[in-house]
Amino acid sequence: MACNEGVQATNDDASECKRCAAQLGYWEDRYISLFVRAGEKKPPEINRGYYARAKGVEMFIDKFLKKSGSERQIVNLGSGFDTLYWRLKDSNKNVTNFVEMDFPSVTARKCYLIKRNKVLLDKIHVEDGEVRLSATDLHAGNYHIVGVDLRNLHEVEVKLNESEVKFNIPTLFLAECVLVYIDAPQVEQLLSWIAKKFDSALFVNYEQVNMGDKFGDVMLRNLRARGCPLAGVGACQNLDTQRQRFLTTGWNGSLSWDMVEVYAALPASDRQRIEHIEFLDEQELLIQLFQHYCICIAWKGEMFSKIDIT
């Protein structure tokens, strides 16, 4: 399964980039350095790209939290070493349940790192006084990490049940650079299963878009060379194909924006602050990068139908 290994390694890349940008002060993340060592310093356009990604996704998480009432849950698909659980805790944004899913080899590493770290462990909300850990899974009061291949729906359902997920409370699904690694029919099967099972859900997907041009071609070739083909790139042709994937799988509505638009929608004072962190020589390159990533949201039920970028 060399291909899976290449895909799993993308988590190390993403975590390293997030650590680098957070350390430079683009945004606050006190936890990412507990999961990944410092790597080489990344170029400014990569740091800004990650800033737009982190803040863009956060903008929709906040919108979900504002609309969803007191009983709500978050399911992070292909979560890698994401630290959202701890960051939400620090900002007193409570959720009833928080579930992370990734390949067992990735969750095993995450569980191991959490087990060894008091800062991480102390923040995990424990209702029944214990954190249950296996080699690949962690179950605590309202936090669950489960090892699963998202292409196997039966396994996904079993793991969600083990995590005490409720199908009738508002649920946010996050997928940051994940669906693009999965074959289109399997993504469609997953999306329609979620739309069928959950009464009220918001899906926030961040990944590539406009991949049919030269820039996209180079990106594809580079990833393929690293043993990481983008099996799901068909849905990444444009903003419309991103939305259609949800509209044909039972979701009630969908909107999408490229990262040029998402970046412009972030508060001007925040943009000014981060634009002073590093001098950016390659404006053109940053714009090209922004044009090739997007956020696509989709909702099931009425609760999240009015969510927009503004």
Q: Which of 75, 106, 230, 298 binds ligand SAM (CB under 6 A)?
A: 106
| Closest distance to ligand SAM from the beta carbon of 271 (Å) | 21
289 makes contact with ligand SAM (CB under 6 A): no
210-to-27, 229, 230, 249, 289 alpha-carbon distances in Å: 27, 16, 13, 22, 10
Q: Which of 100, 102, 137, 258 binds ligand SAM (CB under 6 A)?
A: 102
| Closest distance to ligand SAM from the beta carbon of 105 (Å) | 8
- With tokens 């002073």, the residue in question is 276
Alpha-carbon gap, residue 300 to 296, rounded angstroms: 14
Q: Which of 124, 133, 149, 252 binds ligand SAM (CB under 6 A)?
A: 149
Interface segment toward ligand SAM; rule CB under 6 A; list 10-18, 20-28, 222-230, 270-278: 10-18
Q: Which of 16, 100, 137, 176 binds ligand SAM (CB under 6 A)?
A: 176
146 makes contact with ligand SAM (CB under 6 A): no
Q: Do residues 192 and 185 touch, judged by C-beta distance below 8 A?
A: no
138 makes contact with ligand SAM (CB under 6 A): no
| Residue 49 in marked binding region | no
79 makes contact with ligand SAM (CB under 6 A): yes
Interface segment toward ligand SAM; rule CB under 6 A; list 76-84, 87-95, 112-120, 247-255: 76-84
The one-letter amino acid code at 168 reads N
Closest CB to ligand SAM among residues 101, 303: 101
| Closest distance to ligand SAM from the beta carbon of 265 (Å) | 20
Q: Which of 103, 143, 203, 299 binds ligand SAM (CB under 6 A)?
A: 103
Q: Which of 44, 49, 56, 80 binds ligand SAM (CB under 6 A)?
A: 80
151 makes contact with ligand SAM (CB under 6 A): yes
207 makes contact with ligand SAM (CB under 6 A): no
C-alpha gyration radius of the chain: 18
233 makes contact with ligand SAM (CB under 6 A): no
Q: Which residues contact 87 (CB under 8 A, 6 or more apart)?
A: 28, 29, 31
Closest CB to ligand SAM among residues 173, 303: 173
| Residue 176 in marked binding region | yes
- With tokens 């087990």, the residue in question is 115
Helices (H), the chain: 2-24, 44-67, 84-90, 104-115, 118-123, 153-162, 184-197, 214-225, 239-247, 259-265, 268-275, 283-291
- CA-wise closest residue to 246 among 169, 292, 305, 288: 305
Give the phi and the psi of residue 145 in degrees, each rounded to 5: -120, 125
- CA-wise closest residue to 121 among 129, 135, 131: 131
The one-letter amino acid code at 300 reads K
14 makes contact with ligand SAM (CB under 6 A): yes
47 makes contact with ligand SAM (CB under 6 A): no
What is the CB neighbour count within 10 angstroms for residue 130? 10
| Closest distance to ligand SAM from the beta carbon of 177 (Å) | 4
The one-letter amino acid code at 54 reads A
The one-letter amino acid code at 44 reads P
- With tokens 């957070």, the residue in question is 22
| Residue 255 in marked binding region | no
Instruction: Enumerate binding residues for ligand SAM (CB under 6 A).
Output: 7-8, 10-11, 14, 78-80, 82, 102-103, 106, 149-151, 176-178, 181-182
